Structure 1
Amino acid sequence: MEDRKLTVRAVERALDILLCFTRGSELGLTEIASQIGLHKSTVHRLLTTLEEKGFLIRNPSTEKYRLGIRIWELSTHLPVFDESATLLLPAMERLRDRLGETVSLYLRDGFERVRIQAVQSEQAIRRVAQIGARLPLSVGASSKVLAAYAPPEVLRELLESAGWPDYVERSAYRQQLEDIIRIGYATSFEEREPGAAAVAVPVTGRSGNVVAALSLSGPVSRLSRETLVEYAAVLRETAEEMGLMLP
């Protein structure tokens, strides 16, 4: 039984290492050890195994690691949103071309949102959105959209969770969610990142259920609060178009 516990713990630690790469594309031993709270010698052994299996690649010149070919091989077999992320890509590209900012599509997974598709702005100063990134539901326009339309029990558990940030006042957050349902969109202005703003709307399938959040984000120098409200109407048009493509 003790050997089994050690084996399971080793697997958990290896997965924790891989999850570090959701926050950076190339990481060193010290960075990884600090993020997962383990001694460097333990992390080094796990990194060596992951490298041997092809899940990580080490850059000899920098001694840093990045995701390996095995991750790509696994991802090619992943059914992303029932392949709807690819289906909705042209509509997202048209929205990007019309408004000039980065467009993202998110799903809710537990108490987090996951970016399943993104179209980057072509402007020199832009917000780069990485597909697969996980973000908390407590802040951000897309987070609030997904929380607003989540089942009541999910919202209750979210607000009561130990991981709820102290700087987000629960009653004010609830009020924001009620406002989102009333007006049909959410905005964020430097909520999660300094200098960044976003607007998001729900994507409703033909079943009538909200299945995703469509967002547009960029620098506050171009996206004022007034501009976010103006762009919300354009996003709703695209979300309605996308909804007709979904079950």
Structure 2
Amino acid sequence: MEESKSGTVRAVDRALDILLCFTDTTDLGLTEIAEKTGLHKSTVFRLLASLEAKGFVTRDSSTEKYKLGFRIWELSVNLSQGDDPATILLPEMERLRDILGETISLYIRDGSERIRIQAVQSKHSIRRVAPIGARLPLYVGASSKVLIAFADMNTQENMINDWKEFIDISAYKDQMAGIRKVGYATSVEEREPGVAAVSAPVFNRSHQLVAALSVSGPLNRLTLENMKDHAGLIIESANRMGNMLR
């Protein structure tokens, strides 16, 4: 069994890389998967055959496209949800959405990215659509600022130093200090044109940062004044969420 330099099994790594291609799309062709993984088509074809045989992917014979298979859903049913913030905090997110009327998202940090692990969509016809599972950069956006500002100082320093080409480090550190002081962060068109967001930290009972609670929507509704007015409600909601967690 061939091992990679990191000590993991190369074939398993490659098979998992193929499955991870489906995090942001529902179906992919052989060529698309090869391009995403950087693997030869012949290697991808053999791995897909194994995954298909075990039910982890299925192939549509009419389009020659692959999709995730039933085994993925069988495994997901058995995920332990007792400590899963995406499940525990959903009712509070729905309550906040009903109060503010905007899209509510919950983010966690994974390395140098943030992941949206839960979302409740606004009921407005014009709204910010927030797909669950999306990975986004950490150096822009209200929730990113929260995940950095309230992280431990060692993590914060390491992250910020990696972004020298994207940010003014001195100004960014001052901004982080200001966010810690007021307890929330805002962003206006930092990642998407016409979109604004305000975010607050969710701490567990040990005061460890768990996630960032974010409210986002179009600029004509989420003005800077409105976000400042909403901040207290969002912080209160984030505090309630923290009390729900172990």
The change in CA–CA distance for 1:203 and 1:67 in structure 2 (over 3 A counts) is: same
Matched residue, 2:155? 154
Q: How far did 1:240 drift?
A: 2.1
TM-score by length of 1: 0.86
Question: Do the aligned residues in 1 keep the contact of 2:104 with 2:215 (CA within 8 Å)?
Answer: yes
Matches within 5 A, 1:86-235: 86-161=87-162, 164=163, 166-235=165-234
Question: Do the aligned residues in 1 keep the contact of 2:161 with 2:169 (CA within 8 Å)?
Answer: no
The change in CA–CA distance for 1:66 and 1:220 in structure 2 (over 3 A counts) is: farther
RMSD: 2.5
Distance 1:29 1:165 in 2: 37
Matched residue, 2:237? 238
Distance 2:167 2:55 in 1: 41
Distance 1:63 1:220 in 2: 42
Q: Which amino acid aligns with 2:110?
A: D
Distance 1:60 1:183 in 2: 56
Distance 1:147 1:81 in 2: 26
The change in CA–CA distance for 1:34 and 1:87 in structure 2 (over 3 A counts) is: same
Q: How far did 1:165 drift?
A: 7.5
SS in 1 for 2:244: coil
Distance 1:28 1:63 in 2: 6
TM-superposition CA deviations, 1:151-192 (whole Å, max 9, x none): 11112222334xx47333333332221121011111122222
TM-superposition CA deviations, 1:54-93 (whole Å, max 9, x none): 2222233333222222222222222357134323221111
SS in 1 for 2:83: helix
Q: How far did 1:148 drift?
A: 0.9
Q: Percent identity?
A: 61
Deviates more, 1:170-179 or 1:95-104: 170-179
The change in CA–CA distance for 1:114 and 1:221 in structure 2 (over 3 A counts) is: same
Distance 2:82 2:13 in 1: 26
The change in CA–CA distance for 1:239 and 1:63 in structure 2 (over 3 A counts) is: same
Task: Tell whether 2:74 aligns with 1:73.
Answer: yes
Deviates more, 1:214-223 or 1:127-136: 127-136
Question: Do the aligned residues in 2 keep the contact of 1:26 with 1:64 (CA within 8 Å)?
Answer: yes
The change in CA–CA distance for 1:22 and 1:197 in structure 2 (over 3 A counts) is: farther
Question: Do the aligned residues in 2 keep the contact of 1:205 with 1:246 (CA within 8 Å)?
Answer: yes
The change in CA–CA distance for 1:5 and 1:67 in structure 2 (over 3 A counts) is: same
Distance 1:35 1:88 in 2: 33
Q: How far did 1:235 drift?
A: 0.8
Question: Do the aligned residues in 2 keep the contact of 1:102 with 1:118 (CA within 8 Å)?
Answer: yes
Matched residue, 1:8? 9
Aligned pair count? Answer: 244
SS in 1 for 2:245: coil
SS in 1 for 2:130: coil
Matched residue, 2:32? 31
The change in CA–CA distance for 1:10 and 1:240 in structure 2 (over 3 A counts) is: same
The change in CA–CA distance for 1:40 and 1:172 in structure 2 (over 3 A counts) is: farther
